[in-house]
Each structure stands twice: as C-alpha cells, then as structure tokens.
C-alpha cells in the first residue's frame, strides 16, 4: 500500500515527539492533557479497537456530549484508518435508530445519558456492533472508556496506515424516514480543511482554542483539528454553556474562539461581560447565521480582537468564503456595506456563481454558489445519484444563491432549498413537515424559517386544520417531541384557512415568508 505522506493520524504523534509537554486537550474544568499524554492514550485506544476487530475502513460510532475522551476516539480512528461517525446527540430516538443503523458501526462509544436510547436501537441495528463503551457510568454493565483503554496497553508507537482516498469520517444528516445522507469525508478533505483553517486564522503553536460548536458539527471537530495539527491546545466544553464560555474567555488563556451568532449575542448580553479586558484573545471566528451590524460593532468594542466571518457548507465542502479581519476593519472605518458580504474564497477553495445551465453569471447577477478543491466531500454514502446532483464536474453545489460585486465580494441572496439555519444548525423543513403532517387535526403544513435576533432563524409551522379551530404550540411540540430534536420543533404555529400556492399548485413558501414578515398570514 502506498501511503500519502503525513496523515491526520500522525499529527498528535509528531507534536508529542517535539513538544510532549504542550497542552493538547483541556477539559471544561481545566484538567490538561499534554500532547505526550494524548499520544500514549490514542495508541492504547488503537490497540483496544483492533482487539475488537476494528481495522482500516471499519466504522466506529459516537453518541455523546463532548469530552477529551471523545476527541481521543476520533484521533484513534484517524490513526487506525477506521471511519468515525459522530452522531448528533440532540436527535430524537427514532432519528438515532436510523443513523446508527446506517453507520454499520462495530463499536459504539456513548455518554451514559444516551445509553437507554442506544439500547433501544438493539437488536435491530446490533448485528454489526461488537462493543458498546460508555464515557462515564453505565446502568447496564457496559465497560467504561478507561477500562476499554486499559485493554490496549503494551507495545510501541503505531504509525498511521491511511491514504488520502480513505474515508475517515461519515457525517449523517438526520431523518425519521428514508435513507439519511451520509457525507463521506476523506483524509484529503480533512487535511485540506485543516490547512485552510490554520492559515486563515493564523493558529500558532502554544495557542489555546475554544469552540462553541459540538464535535459532531464540522466546525466543532474542525476547530480542534486546527489545534492538533499545529501544536495548539483546545478547550473541550461538554456543551455550550454561557457561564462556562464566559469563564474561559475571561481566563486570559484563550487566544482564538469560534462561536455562532446566538452564542455571541448571549455573551454580549451577560452582565459581567465588561468586567474584564480580553488582551490575550487574538481573534473570533463567527458564522452559521446572519450577524446584525450592531452586534459586530459591540464585539469590537468588548473584545477588541480580529474578526473572521466564515461561510460554507462545512460538512460537504468545508469553509468556502471568509470575510477577513481587514474587511471588518475597513467596514467599521466607513465602508459598512462590507458587513453585509459573506467574503471572498477561503484558502484552497475555488468559487463560482453559476446559472441553472452551469454557466458563470456576470457580476451583479444572482447565481448558485459552486466550489471545488480538496475540501469537497467524496460523496453521499450509497447514494450515487444524489452525489451526482450535488457534485458536477468536481463542483459542489448546496443550493446557496449569491451575487458578486465589482470588488469580488460575494453577497448572499437566499437559499434555493429553503433550508433553515437556527443557531448554526441546518434544519430541513421537509423532515419536520413529515412529522407534523401525521397530526390527526392537520390538513396541510408548511415549515419556514423566520428571522430571529438570537438564533438567526427559528422554525415556524403554518398549518391549515381539518374542521377549523386552533392548534397551540404546546400541543404541536408534544406531538413532535419523541420524533424530532428539540431545535427542529417549531417555536411558532400560525393557523390559516389555506396556504398560498404557485401556478403549478405547489405551496409557495417565498410568498408565505413575505406574508409572515408583513404580519398578514393569519
């Protein structure tokens, strides 16, 4: 087998060799794991996985809140050449069953709080699973992570045995019906995304990074990989917590943070946010939802650091565009229109705006964002037709529409697929409509996103009812609770006599959103 140079599985070992005492992973409580220690634990974990029959190309699933151990599992899979599937811990039980079955994992790592949910997936999805391991405590006698780790003791250093075409990660979309989309991320893709992030953010050896995004999210694990590859440390928070995030930002140790707008709005509204300066905080990366200009100005006032606005299809194509610190400084010096832009191509990414026939549109005209480069996925697991629609001649298209100004900055014009982005999480209306449509009183349903100053967008359900009457939010949320993650459940219900339709008879969501904005729907 021809190996492909330095692999992500080698990053920890390389830094352990030259800076063994440098911080690699730091828990929310402040416990430090150095590169030397993490490298030794990852090596033992590789042996423990091998003892369970996990080898190159086999799959490992993770259903857990974030922890240093979680990161170690991912690093071990990368070194071993196994494929990890980090599952969204916010999924409802039915969604977990679907994606776990699709993962065909041999080993499942989980938090104790999800043990019952995972157990409920057996024996239906258990044919491939050889071991379940808990990161904390088990009520069903499962081995703990430390016990599993100890089983891999002995032996020397293990080198990575992967090639750039190997699939190191599968990121599953959710879905209670049908086949979920499993985004296959190759070693080449992970290396390219990491290199781009390190260069764009200027990550330095010895930095300490903090991300508010969970590890199952491309931004969350990507941010940790920036640090692992560059010899920098990462604070690993179990979940985003306002008080915990503020404490770390005010500790004077964090040099670079990645936060979605809703988190930054929470922080800026905290009564203690101005109790200290942030001299060690060098930059903040934000993105995933619209950011009001007033919030950006307040960020500069409070944190006095560089700002990066990242835009992209992180799971399928990495970061595509960046509005860089110099752009922010120029905007705040007078060219405020720049704050409405989503930037220029990120390092290593070629971007074009295309019409429906695949031709590049002129400046000023709206086209679909298409990107190519090593940051593009290898495809959707077992779905070649879907892959062919998303990646055409090497160009990935997610359905985002934009136009380019004369200076080369792109400006978002909308989303062709009506996807809702709530607090950095992609929410697909059709999935919610399928669940709500099962309610016995609902005649028709359309789910749309509405602007929200905190989350960027929130989910709104517009329904017509059989026999008329009213439907409360509480009643609808109860109907959805066991089948949808909490962030997908509508926060508002609007009852109408009939839904607007276009000339072909389909529900006209653009008109619906306009009416909601004008307050003339109900």
pLDDT tens per residue across span 221-242: 999 999 999 999 999 999 999 9
Of 369, 396, 415, the position where a domain reaches its end is: 415
Residue 135 domain flag = yes
The answer as to whether 504 is a domain residue is yes
Whether residue 165 sits in one domain with residue 74? yes
Report the C-alpha gap between 321 and 327 in whole angstroms: 13
User: Is 193 a domain residue?
Assistant: no
Tokens 């990066």, residue located: 308
- Show which of 387, 415, 443 is a domain's final residue: 415
492: its two tokens: 């508002």
Q: What is the predicted pLDDT for the residue at 503?
A: 45
CATH number of the structural domain spanning residue 239: 3.40.50.12780
Give the structural domain span for 151: 8-186
- Same domain for 244 and 138: no
- Whole-number Å distance between alpha carbons of 455 and 231: 33
Greatest alpha-carbon pair distance for the chain in Å reads 72
Is residue 196 situated within a structural domain?
no
Is 344 found in the same domain as 450?
A: no
Q: Any residues with CB less than 8 A from the CB of 200 and at least 6 apart, and which?
A: 308, 319, 322, 324, 346, 347
* Domain count for the chain: 3
What is residue 474's three-state secondary structure?
A: helix
d(CA 209, CA 234): 5
Residue 128 pLDDT: 86
CA dihedral (65, 69, 75, 79) positive or negative? negative
Q: Are residues 238 and 159 in the same domain?
A: no
Residue 74 is predicted with a pLDDT of 98
CA distance 61 to 20: 29
Tell me, what's the pLDDT at 1?
46
Encoding tokens for residue 178? 């049908």
Residues 431 and 489 in one domain: yes
Are residue 282 and residue 179 in the same domain, yes or no? no
How many angstroms separate the Cα of 414 from the Cα of each of 1, 367, 515? 46, 10, 17
The CATH number of the domain where 453 resides is what? 3.30.300.30
Structure tokens at 9: 């599985």
Q: Which of 415, 432, 448 is the last residue of a domain?
A: 415
**Helix 218-230 with 68-80: angle, nearest 10 deg:** 70
- 133 assigned to some structural domain: yes
Which residues lie below 8 Å from residue 85, measured CB to CB, with a gap of 6+? 59, 60, 61, 62, 99, 103, 105, 169, 170, 171, 172, 182
Instruction: Of 500, 498, 397, 509, give the one whose Cα is nearest residue 447.
Output: 509
- Angstrom distance (rounded) from CA 367 to CA 388: 19
Q: How far is CA 313 from the centre of its chain?
A: 9
Per-residue pLDDT tens digits for 363-389: 999 999 999 999 999 999 999 999 999
Q: Could you tell me if 332 and 430 lie in one domain?
A: no
**What pTM value is reported for the model?**
0.85
CA distances from 147 to 141, 248, 342 (A): 12, 31, 47
In SS3 terms, 147-161 reads as HHHHCCCCCCCCCCC
C-alpha closest to that of 412 among 259, 258, 291: 291
Same domain, 406 and 447: no
Same-domain pairing of 55 and 137:
yes
Those residues whose C-beta lies under 8 Å from the C-beta of residue 153, and which sit 6 or more positions away, are 44, 47
How does DSSP assign 402-426, residue by residue? Answer: EEE-TTS-EEEEEETT--EEETTEE
Residue 261, in any domain of the structure: yes
pLDDT score for 2: 46
Task: Check residue 139 and give its pLDDT.
Answer: 85
213 and 182 part of one domain: no
Q: Judge whether 191 lies within some domain.
A: no
| Claim to verify: residue 426 and residue 405 sit in the same structural domain | no
In a domain, 201, yes or no: no
Residues 410 and 428 in one domain: no
* pLDDT value at residue 352: 97
The pLDDT value recorded for residue 470 is 85
Below-70 pLDDT ranges, the chain: 1-4, 174-179, 288-290, 414, 416-417, 502-506, 522
């Amino acid at each position: 087998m021809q190996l492909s140079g330095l692999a992500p599985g080698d990053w920890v070992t390389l830094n352990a060799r030259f800076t063994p005492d440098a911080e690699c992973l730091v828990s929310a409580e402040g416990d430090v794991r150095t590169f030397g220690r993490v490298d030794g634990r990852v090596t033992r974990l590789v042996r423990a996985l091998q003892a369970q029959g996990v080898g190159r190309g086999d799959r490992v699933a993770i259903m857990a809140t974030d922890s240093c151990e979680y990161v170690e599992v991912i690093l071990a899979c990368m070194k071993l050449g196994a494929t990890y599937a980090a599952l969204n811990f916010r999924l409802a039980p039915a969604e977990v069953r679907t994606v776990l079955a699709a993962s065909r994992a041999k080993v499942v790592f989980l938090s104790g709080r999800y043990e019952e949910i995972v157990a409920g997936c057996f024996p239906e999805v258990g044919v491939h699973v050889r071991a379940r391991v808990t990161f904390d405590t088990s009520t069903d006698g499962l081995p703990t992570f430390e016990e599993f780790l100890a089983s891999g003791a002995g032996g020397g250093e293990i080198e990575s045995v992967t090639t750039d075409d190997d699939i190191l990660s599968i990121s599953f979309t959710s879905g209670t019906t049908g086949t979920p989309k499993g985004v296959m991320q190759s070693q080449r893709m992970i290396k390219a995304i990491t290199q781009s992030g390190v260069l764009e953010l200027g990550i330095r050896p010895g930095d300490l990074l903090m991300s508010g995004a969970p590890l199952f999210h491309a931004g969350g694990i990507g941010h940790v990989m920036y640090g692992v590859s560059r010899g920098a440390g990462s604070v690993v928070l179990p979940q985003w917590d306002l008080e915990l995030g503020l404490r770390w930002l005010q500790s004077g140790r964090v040099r670079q943070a990645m936060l979605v707008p809703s988190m930054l709005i929470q922080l800026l509204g905290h009564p203690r946010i101005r109790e200290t300066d942030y001299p060690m905080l060098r930059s903040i990366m934000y993105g995933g939802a619209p950011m009001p200009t007033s919030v950006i100005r307040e960020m500069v006032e409070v944190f006095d650091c560089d700002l990066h606005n990242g835009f992209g299809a992180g799971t399928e194509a990495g970061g595509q565009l960046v509005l860089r610190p110099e752009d922010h400084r120029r905007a705040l010096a007078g060219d405020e229109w720049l704050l409405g832009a989503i930037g220029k191509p990120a390092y290593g990414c070629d971007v074009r705006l295309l019409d429906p026939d695949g031709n590049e549109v002129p400046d000023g005209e709206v086209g679909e964002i298409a990107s190519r480069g090593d940051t593009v996925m290898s495809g959707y697991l077992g779905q070649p037709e879907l892959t062919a629609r998303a990646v055409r001649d090497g160009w990935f298209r997610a359905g985002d529409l934009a136009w380019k100004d004369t200076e080369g900055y792109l400006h978002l014009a909308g989303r062709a697929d009506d996807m809702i982005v709530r607090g950095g999480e992609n929410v697909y209306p059709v999935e919610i409509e399928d669940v709500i449509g099962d309610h016995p009183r609902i005649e028709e349903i359309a789910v749309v996103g509405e602007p929200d100053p905190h989350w960027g967008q929130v989910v709104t359900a517009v329904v017509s009812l059989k026999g008329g009457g009213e439907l409360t939010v509480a009643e609808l949320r109860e109907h959805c609770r066991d089948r949808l993650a909490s962030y997908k459940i509508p926060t508002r219900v609007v009852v109408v006599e009939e839904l607007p339709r276009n000339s072909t008879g389909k529900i006209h969501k653009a008109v619906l959103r306009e009416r909601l904005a004008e307050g003339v729907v109900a």
